[in-house]
């Protein structure tokens, strides 16, 4: 790696590290950590039917939880995976240095993948490694096969691109000369590994259609509902390419740009390399279908649109057409797509630095440092928001107020843990009816007391309440502001 490339990589790594320090993980981030900490490998595998995700991310986190490392390990892992992706990009991508820099400051690579620690962090290094080994796929198909199999274990949105890689490899396999027996066997084995990866992924998440309410096709009763869903997907796609929903008064124009520039890049990609264009087109169409019928876009998922386009253009530029005029226009279009996302990414970083993203870490740290470990922490309401705090207080016991069941992580299969209703009158009813200890800590993420803002001291039902903690400020995730009360029976 040349000196300028090393400086770019160091700058990217340092920027990500600074953002990591400021970012406070929210419930969806720490849920994977709690699952890894609470369950054995087989249990993690089984739990995925309630998560709708693959086990690979939680299994990687299992290494850290088994060693007793803190939650920040998860953040370091996502940051490290993106630094690896940046190294692959700088070292192997056939782009100019400024083009690589633009990719690294795009919203996905700057913020959504390295800073927000979720399974999406697995995708950039796998895609970039696939692009790097793609030119040698005919003679050495196994690296592509291994990476494609891993890609199928990252996120359901990536199955479309993985499927298109499989199709391209099948077509090329049939074109292998009959005399190349050894190569044909290697290609067949590689294709078998890809199929195995897809089957393993399907095996994990297929039960979600029976176990998780969110994993079902949303019925669309009339044309207006179809049009509204299509509009939502269109705006979300533009969010992935330019942060359209955060553009204020210019949102409509940004949405058009968010579609026009990526589609222009895709058309140019078709002119340069049909194979690469098929990979991106198939990946996009699969995403659209998922977002339309099943699993809607959020910023991290929307950012995958740009990431797949970069991968396709990298593959195209690695071929013999790399020096054509269309190829040069293609990389400029790619840079324009990435530049569109930069204001959105920087805006997310600024907000994350200026105010807490979530109150989970501070509330959990307060419990770990200030609350005796033998004092039970009861949660009301029982939700993924309140359970997330347990990630930062591993020595404490967390329990649902109703039912008293231990909650080491949020149970999506929670039929035996009644949440009753998230309304004030139900909290006092629950405290009166539940078999509770004489002293405990109550953790809540809202004002569930009949008197509204009850203040620091009050009596209600059979208990006297003393407020110990209140989240400072308003987190970006508004429903992750927490209160802690010391409760003593009267």
Band of pLDDT at residue 88, cut at 50, 70 and 90: very high
Q: What is the mean pLDDT of residues 385-401?
A: 93
Lowest mean pLDDT among 158-162, 245-249, 307-311: 245-249
DSSP 382: -
Q: How many CB atoms lie within 10 A of CB 438?
A: 10
What percent of the chain is predicted at pLDDT more than 70?
A: 87
pLDDT of residue 224: 77
pLDDT of residue 203: 87
Alpha-carbon dihedral 224, 229, 235, 238, rounded to 10 degrees: -130
Token pair listed for 405 = 């069941």
The mean pLDDT value of the chain amounts to 86
> pLDDT tens, 123-149?
999 999 999 999 998 888 999 999 999
CA–CA gap between residue 412 and residue 307 (Å, rounded):
31
pLDDT of residue 291: 82
Alpha helix stretches (DSSP H) within 274-324: 274-293, 299-302, 304-317
SS3 of residue 471 by DSSP? coil
Please name which of 338, 341, 339, 325 lies closest in space to residue 268, comparing C-alpha atoms.
325
Question: Helix 72-92 to helix 56-66 angle, to the nearest 10 degrees?
Answer: 120
CA–CA gap between residue 9 and residue 344 (Å, rounded):
22
More confident residue, 244 or 110: 110
CA–CA gap between residue 394 and residue 368 (Å, rounded):
8
> pLDDT tens, 37-63?
999 999 999 888 888 789 999 999 999
Question: Above 70 in pLDDT, residue 181?
Answer: no
Q: How many CB atoms lie within 10 A of CB 86?
A: 26
pLDDT of residue 212: 59
Token pair listed for 139 = 């003679």
Question: Above 90 in pLDDT, residue 390?
Answer: yes
Please name which of 42, 32, 57, 26 lies closest in space to residue 409, comparing C-alpha atoms.
32
CA–CA gap between residue 332 and residue 99 (Å, rounded):
8
pLDDT of residue 353: 92
For the full predicted model, state whether its pTM sits above 0.75. yes
**For the chain, the helix, strand and coil percentages under 3-state DSSP, each to the nearest 5:** 65, 5, 30
Question: Above 90 in pLDDT, residue 168?
Answer: yes
CA–CA gap between residue 257 and residue 385 (Å, rounded):
36
Question: Above 70 in pLDDT, residue 418?
Answer: no
pLDDT of residue 217: 59
Place of tokens 């070292």: 91
For residue 139, count CB atoms less than 10 angstroms from its CB and return exposed for 0-12, middle for 13-18, buried for 19 or more: exposed
DSSP of 313-366, one letter per residue? HHHHHTSGGGGSHHHHHHHHHHHHHHHHHHHHHHHHHHHHHHS-S-SHHHHHHH
> pLDDT tens, 186-225?
888 899 999 999 999 888 877 777 665 555 556 666 677 7
CA–CA gap between residue 79 and residue 247 (Å, rounded):
27
Residue 19 neighbours by CB under 8 Å, 6+ apart? 110, 111, 114, 115, 349, 352, 353
Please name which of 224, 330, 197, 334 lies closest in space to residue 270, comparing C-alpha atoms.
330
Residue 183 neighbours by CB under 8 Å, 6+ apart? 138, 139, 176
pLDDT of residue 478: 80
Token pair listed for 450 = 């009949």
Q: Across 289-303, 351-365, 402-416, which has the greatest mean pLDDT?
A: 351-365
Token pair listed for 223 = 């044309």
Question: Above 80 in pLDDT, residue 226?
Answer: no
Question: Above 60 in pLDDT, residue 116?
Answer: yes
CA–CA gap between residue 230 and residue 73 (Å, rounded):
39
CA–CA gap between residue 290 and residue 305 (Å, rounded):
13
Length of the chain (residues): 490
Token pair listed for 442 = 């109550």
pLDDT of residue 135: 92
Token pair listed for 75 = 């953040």
CA–CA gap between residue 184 and residue 19 (Å, rounded):
47
Does an H or E element contain 186, and which? helix 181-205
Buried b (16+ CB within 10 A) or exposed e, 171-199: eebeebeeeeeebeebbeebbebbeebbe
Gyration radius of the chain over CA positions: 25
Pairing of strands 377-379, 439-444: parallel
Question: Above 70 in pLDDT, residue 420?
Answer: no
> pLDDT tens, 427-451?
777 777 777 888 999 998 877 765 5
Q: How many CB atoms lie within 10 A of CB 215?
A: 19
Question: Above 60 in pLDDT, residue 475?
Answer: yes
> pLDDT tens, 324-358?
777 888 999 999 989 988 888 898 899 899 888 99
Token pair listed for 93 = 């991508």
Question: What's the gap between Cα 245 and its chain centre?
Answer: 19
Band of pLDDT at residue 423, cut at 50, 70 and 90: low
- Signed CA dihedral, 184, 189, 194, 199: sign only: positive
SS3 of residue 464 by DSSP? strand
What percent of the chain is predicted at pLDDT more than 90?
A: 53
């Amino acid at each position: 790696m040349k000196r300028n490339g090393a400086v770019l990589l160091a700058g990217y790594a340092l920027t990500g590290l600074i953002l990591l320090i400021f970012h406070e993980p929210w419930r969806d981030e720490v849920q994977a950590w709690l699952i890894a900490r609470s369950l054995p490998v087989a249990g993690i595998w089984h739990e995925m039917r309630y998560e709708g995700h693959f086990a690979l991310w939680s299994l990687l986190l299992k290494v850290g939880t088994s060693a007793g490392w803190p939650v920040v390990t998860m953040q370091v892992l996502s940051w490290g995976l993106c630094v690896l992706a940046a190294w692959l990009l700088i070292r192997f991508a056939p782009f100019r240095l400024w083009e690589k820099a633009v990719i690294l400051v795009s919203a996905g690579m700057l913020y959504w993948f390295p800073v927000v620690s979720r399974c999406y962090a697995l995708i950039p290094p796998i895609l970039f490694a696939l692009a790097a080994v793609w030119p040698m796929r005919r003679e050495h198909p196994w690296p592509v096969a291994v990476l494609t199999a891993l890609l199928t274990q990252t996120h359901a949105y990536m199955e479309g691109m993985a499927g298109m890689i499989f199709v391209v490899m099948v077509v090329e396999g049939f074109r292998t000369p009959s005399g190349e027996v050894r190569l044909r066997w290697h290609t067949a084995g590689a294709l078998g590994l890809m199929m195995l990866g897809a089957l393993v992924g399907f095996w994990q998440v297929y039960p979600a259609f029976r176990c998780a309410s969110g994993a079902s096709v949303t019925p669309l009763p009339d044309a207006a509902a179809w049009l509204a869903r299509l509009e939502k997907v269109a705006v979300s796609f533009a969010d992935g390419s330019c942060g359209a929903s955060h553009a204020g008064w210019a949102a409509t124009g940004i949405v058009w740009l968010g579609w026009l520039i990526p589609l222009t890049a895709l058309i140019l990609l078709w002119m340069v390399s049909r194979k690469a264009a098929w990979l991106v087109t198939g990946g996009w169409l699969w995403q659209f279908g998922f977002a339309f019928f099943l699993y809607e876009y959020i910023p991290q998922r929307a950012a995958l649109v740009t990431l797949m386009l970069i991968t396709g253009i990298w593959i195209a530029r690695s071929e013999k057409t790399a020096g054509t005029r269309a190829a040069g226009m293609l990389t400029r279009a790619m840079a324009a797509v990435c530049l569109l996302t930069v204001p959105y990414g920087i805006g997310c970083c600024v907000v994350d630095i200026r105010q807490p993203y979530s109150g989970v870490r501070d509330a959990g740290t307060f419990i770990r440092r200030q609350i005796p470990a033998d004092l039970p922490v009861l949660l009301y309401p029982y939700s993924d928001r309140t359970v997330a705090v347990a990630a930062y207080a591993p020595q404490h016991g967390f329990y649902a107020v109703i039912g008293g069941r231990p909650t080491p992580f949020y149970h999506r299969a929670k039929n035996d843990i009644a949440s009753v209703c998230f309304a004030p009158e139900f909290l006092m009813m629950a405290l009166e009816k539940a078999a509770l200890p004489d002293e405990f800590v109550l953790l809540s993420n809202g004002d569930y007391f009949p008197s509204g803002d009850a203040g620091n001291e009050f009596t209600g039902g059979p208990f006297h309440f003393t407020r110990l903690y209140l989240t400072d400020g308003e987190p970006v995730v508004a429903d992750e502001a927490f209160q802690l009360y010391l409760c003593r029976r009267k």
